[in-house]
Amino acid sequence: MDGQGTIEEQYEYLLTILQGDQLVEFREQFFELHIYEQGQFYLTLNEEERQRLYTYLSPKEMADMFDVIEEDEEDVEEYLKEMKPSYVADMLAEMYTDNAVDTLNQLDKASVSKYLSLMDAESASEIKELLHYEDETAGSIMTTEYVSIVANQTVRSAMYLLKNEAKAAETIYYVFVVDSENTLLGVISLRDLIINEDDVMIGDIMSERVISVKVGDDQEDVARTIRDYDFLAVPVTDYDDHLMGIVTVDDIIDVIDEEAASDYSGLAGVDVEESSENPFKAASKRLPWLITLLFLGMSTATLIGRYEELVSEASILAVFISLITGTAGNAGTQSLAVAVRRLAIQDDKDSGFFRLILSEVLTGLVTGFVTGVSIFLVVGIWKNNFPLGFVIGIAMLFAITVANLAGSLIPMVMDKLGFDPAVASGPFITTLSDLTSVLIYFNIASLFMGYFV
């Protein structure tokens, strides 16, 4: 097809010649695709078609494709099981080290040991080194395919080294300067190498102010560093400033997606990436939260039951229960989302805890006051009963203030205790707001019963 037609038509044509055993034609058309499109074509194939593809592509060619494939854990494991173990080992050895480690981290220990034993010693050693780092740290997401030079060499020799190592490096836009003990001394950009004369010494033009991260730093902190400084890559050092690897921006994009999915899962009280799971497995993950919230909701129902006599005397109160609990729940969820986002980006990391709480209380009072005045006027005019409107408005004010405070306080407390603040999910905050709103509403109503009944 020579690259003509839509991508779907190209995939269809590729599948036809793959099934027709047209090896030469398939390889010619396949490698005209962008590497991402190659990966997407691979994901459309069934097992029989993938088995044929493995005979058409070398481990190196498959490695290039697997470097860009982002798929869930079960699928990656199944894909590797389809291949011969020696083929998998060769493919993993050809992948960028950080991507190979990510893939191996999705497998059981027996499979990891098997593939490592089949690799060449150098590749296995590099991968083992990264496998030892704690998950979700700079060490676990860094790559060891980078280019480093020394300060006492010329631009000419540095460019010669760069040309020889560029093919294996994940990025060449930054070149890091080290000493004989691999201590990080500086950094120089590819642009600086190009514009300077061949005989200029690296030590004279390198930047000694290097922003780096430690191997044990959390991946979210690494992401913030790359975002704040607009880096394409950031060096990773041990605690003695020895250069261990680099984290590139493409890996950070994956981290941002992962963290965003994690936070959203916490806010929703469900794994948002469960779409590929069967209904029973998906239900098993959702049920614990739902059952927990069910019992918490029953406590709200029990509390309403305690005020049954009050409701029987003024049945009009029952009309506005869902209005107050729903509005307070929405306010609590808004506050929760803002609090989790604040903690994620840590813009307020230097702010005092009580200052933040005071800010949230004031925010709750303002929003509660405006909402309360609005409902006071609506109910007063609608029911021609301004005392009732006053009761509902006051209840709304306090319910929103308390919900707003809970939505911000709970994740901050969890963060102080070392837990993921996103676990303070939206459904939990909403259900908790229901409980406190009902308590506030009926207690205020009981104080003013004689004015609106």
CB atoms within 10 A of CB 90: 21
Q: Which residues contact 382 (CB under 8 A, 6 or more apart)?
A: none
Nearest to 235, CA basis, from 147, 127, 168, 125: 147
Q: Tell me: pLDDT of 278 over 70.
A: no
- Cβ–Cβ under 8 Å, residues 247 and 139: no
Compute the average pLDDT of residues 240-264: 80
* Domains of the chain and CATH, by start: 7-141 (1.25.60.10), 148-257 (3.10.580.10), 279-452 (1.10.357.20)
Residues 27-45, mean pLDDT to the nearest whole number:
92
At 179, is the secondary structure helix, strand, or coil?
coil
Between 187 and 273, the more confident residue is 187
Q: pLDDT per residue over 399-444, tens digit each?
A: 999 988 888 888 777 777 766 665 556 677 777 888 889 899 988 9
Q: Rounded mean pLDDT of the chain?
A: 85
pLDDT of residue 237: 96
Residue 49 pLDDT greater than 70, yes or no: yes
Other beta carbons within 10 Å of 48:
10
Query: Quick one: DSSP state of residue 231?
Result: -
Residues 6+ apart with CB under 8 A from 8: none
Is residue 396 within 8 A of residue 436, CB to CB? The reply is no
Q: Using CA atoms, how far apart are residues 405 and 331, in angstroms rounded to an integer?
A: 10
Q: Which strands form 148-150's sheet, in the order they lie side by side?
A: 148-150, 174-178, 184-189
pLDDT of the residue at 430 = 77
Low-confidence winner among 31-45, 349-363, 384-398, 424-438 (lowest mean pLDDT) = 349-363
Q: Considering only 47-61, 233-247, 312-326, 361-375, which range has the smallest mean pLDDT?
A: 312-326
**pLDDT tens-digit map of 318-373:** 888 888 988 888 888 888 777 777 776 655 454 566 777 788 888 889 999 999 99
Selected residue with higher pLDDT from 210 and 106: 210
Dump pLDDT digits (tens) for 99-124. Answer: 899 889 888 889 999 999 999 999 99
Residue 293 confidence (pLDDT) above 70 = no
Question: Do the beta carbons of residue 96 and residue 67 sit within 8 Å?
Answer: yes
Between 72 and 220, residue with greater pLDDT: 220
pLDDT digits (tens, 9 = 90+) for 135-144: 889 998 899 9
Confidence of residue 269 (pLDDT cuts 50, 70, 90): low
**Span 246-268, mean pLDDT?**
72
